[in-house]
Chains A and B, each alone.
Chain A
Amino acid sequence: MDKKNLSVGVDLGTSNLLIYVEGQGTLFNEPSIIAIDKATQKVICVGHEASKLVGKNHEKFDVVRPLQGGVISDIELIREILIFTLNRIFPSEIQSIQKLVICIPSEITNTEKEAIVKLGHSLGIQNTIIEQEIKAAALGSGIDIFAPRGHMVVDIGGGTTDFGILSLGDVVLSKSIKIAGDFFDTQIIDHVKVVHKLEIGLQTAEEVKILLASLTGPYPTNDDDEEMVYEAMGRDLVSGLPHSVLLDAKEIREILLNCFDPIKSVLLATLEETPPELAGDLVDSGILLTGGCSQILGLREYIEDIAKVPVYLSETPLTAVVDGCKKLLKMTNKYFYSEV
């Protein structure tokens, strides 16, 4: 068997963990959630199985997101989740990984970066490279970032919304805000609690968001062209009994518009700091939206209205980063890779 011949790309996102293996495609695409036994510290399960346990666990085990809000809350858990998934993908072949590219949110500090590199080393992979998600996302969406030309990418993920200006194959400027998918969910929970006196879980809130979210223009409709409503089930705060309410798209939009206010101001702040030559390029090249939440209805028009430049949606918002990893793995030269 060939030794040391696998190249692996990892998108270490707040909400989803994606693993790409060169020549074999994306082998893992599941929520980055881990369930761990409290007494023995042994991993019970990760990914989908663990996410089903969120809010339903008993006290003998913990269900944790190791990347809370885009930062590493526990490096040991990251290690566990990586080893567990890598082992599951290729049992006993973990030694044959030769190159590892890990994509992380742009806010991560240098010490955290070093910790991840060390983690790679401790797995026996000397060639461990850390890249910013923004860069990988742009590459994965098919932008030629290696030209001397400005591009802007907005990645609205689970934990953070990242803003980046790219040119010449790297990030010129990036900003990040901890308002993204997860935050929208908690805002929806709070809203339902206050207005409808009903306590709903995270999973329900996420479903509400996926079905009802919109920012501008018409509200989402169902197959019969009727405005969508959602029957959210939870626990009534007053009586303490299970109960349900009907939520409509109008109230969800109000919540989201409030959430997007800070995103809007960070977007403007990023544009303000962009060097003028690159800002000039943006008038043509526009802004690319990616990440799970870029699928929210009317987001494109909303951003277009703020920035007054063309806005594009990534065709593969959920896998753009890992697609970019694929290209990063093939790269040899730092700045002049154009064969995309």
Chain B
Amino acid sequence: MNSSVNKEKEKERIGLGIDLGTANLLVYQEKKGIIFNEPSVIAFDRESGKVVAAGNDAHRMLGKVHSKIAVIKPLRSGVISDMRAAKSLLSYVLSKIDNLTEKDMGRTTCVICCPSEVTKIERDVMIDLATKMSIQDVFIEEEIKSGALGAGIDIFKSKGAMVVDIGGGTTDVGILSFGDIVLSRTVRKAGNFMDDEIAKFVKKNRSVEIGELTAERAKTELADLHQNAKIMTMRYAGRDMVKGIPKWFDLTTTEMQSILFPIFDEIVKLISAVLKDTPPELSADIFRNGIMLSGGCSLIKGIEEYIGNRIMVPVHVVSNPLTCVAEGTKYLIKNRGDYLVNPLQM
């Protein structure tokens, strides 16, 4: 009796949703919720090839390691650039899950989310990754769709919704209706690009070289897109390019705006390009319901006002901008991406 119950339990399928983002890796496990939410960074020992750290610990090491450790970001601009590192990162995360052994991988269904405009090859690499983990049942979904579901938008009605996901590597813009994507576009400019621009600005105007961690910190502390934002001055440290010695420098909100405005203008341009191609009936819906913003960069202050003023459509940031993609996989595992099956009612 007991053994048959156990067998029954063993046969139960495990559902995994993976949001393999450029900045953060999130893993959702069916019935358990989000089990991992940390930066997608991994650190190896060069000599032995062993994993030294992953996630938050590895992220803190960026730009600060000696030659015996390699710190790698397995993704660049939304796609896998280092297969070995991506695999190690994922294995590391999955090894943290209780009651999940290699053997269980065979009965796992896995959905991986990717940016909208990635090539067939880039998608195949994602599937490859899962197959290498000995997960056979894999399918790929667009982040936009999962994000919309995770944010609690009912996309299964015949009603248009627009989602803008500004993440680490890519900005995705998509129109959804009746359970699937009508139209979506991607630009490979997002959080990381902003960090690079900040580092470039500091190099040019202050003659100080800074690392990516410092640039990221400056962005989260100073970025404010409000027209009359409160001017703040913050102090950061880097290396003086002329003298070579460590040096403090100040950065203000106004300067940060001058760096970020051109990037957001480009995002606005992408949004209007998508809106231009949207079928008129859906346009009407979007005009009424507004645009939903998600992704890490939607946390920048004043972003609703900035985009709203330029597009003339109400803009809202979703309540869970960082986790909505992973949370959306909950539904996608249920309906395997089929628009005819409404998982919200399951």
Contact = CB atoms under 8 A, between A and B. Distances in A.
A25 to B, nearest CB: 31
The 10 closest A-B pairs by CB, nearest first: A277-B211, A272-B244, A277-B63, A279-B239, A280-B237, A283-B237, A276-B209, A172-B66, A170-B66, A282-B246
B207 to A, nearest CB: 12
Contact of A168 (B65, B209, B214, B244): B65
Contact of B52 (A272, A276, A284, A335): A335
A106 interface: no
Interface string A255-290: 000000000000011011011111111111000000
A308 interface: yes
Nearest to B63: A277
Interface of B: 45, 52, 60-69, 208-214, 236-239, 243-248
Contacts, number: 93
Interface in A112-139: none
Given A168-B66, A277-B214, A280-B214, 18 more contacts: A148-B64, A149-B64, A167-B66, A168-B65, A168-B69, A170-B66, A171-B66, A274-B239, A276-B208, A277-B62, A278-B63, A278-B211, A279-B237, A279-B238, A280-B210, A308-B246, A309-B246, A334-B45
Nearest to A287: B246
Contacts of B236: 280
A307 interface: yes
A281 B64 contact: yes
A275 B69 contact: no
Given A168-B69, A172-B67, A275-B211, A280 B246 contact: yes
Residue from B62, B67, B237, B245 with most neighbouring chain A CB atoms (10 Å): B245
A262 to B, nearest CB: 16
B131 to A, nearest CB: 32
Contacts of A317: none
Interface residues of A, number: 31
Contacts of B244: 268-269, 271-272
Given A275-B211, A279-B238, A307 B246 contact: yes
B68 A279 contact: no
Interface of A: 148-150, 166-168, 170-173, 268-269, 271-272, 274-284, 306-309, 334-335
Residue from B64, B211, B212, B213 with most neighbouring chain A CB atoms (10 Å): B64
Contacts of A148: 60-61, 64-65
Contacts of A150: 64
B82 to A, nearest CB: 20
A276 B62 CA distance: 11
A312 B324 CA distance: 48
Contacts of B247: 283, 308
A280 B60 contact: no
Contacts of B248: 283
Residue from A269, A271, A276, A279 with most neighbouring chain B CB atoms (10 Å): A276
Contacts of A306: 245
Contacts of A278: 63-64, 211
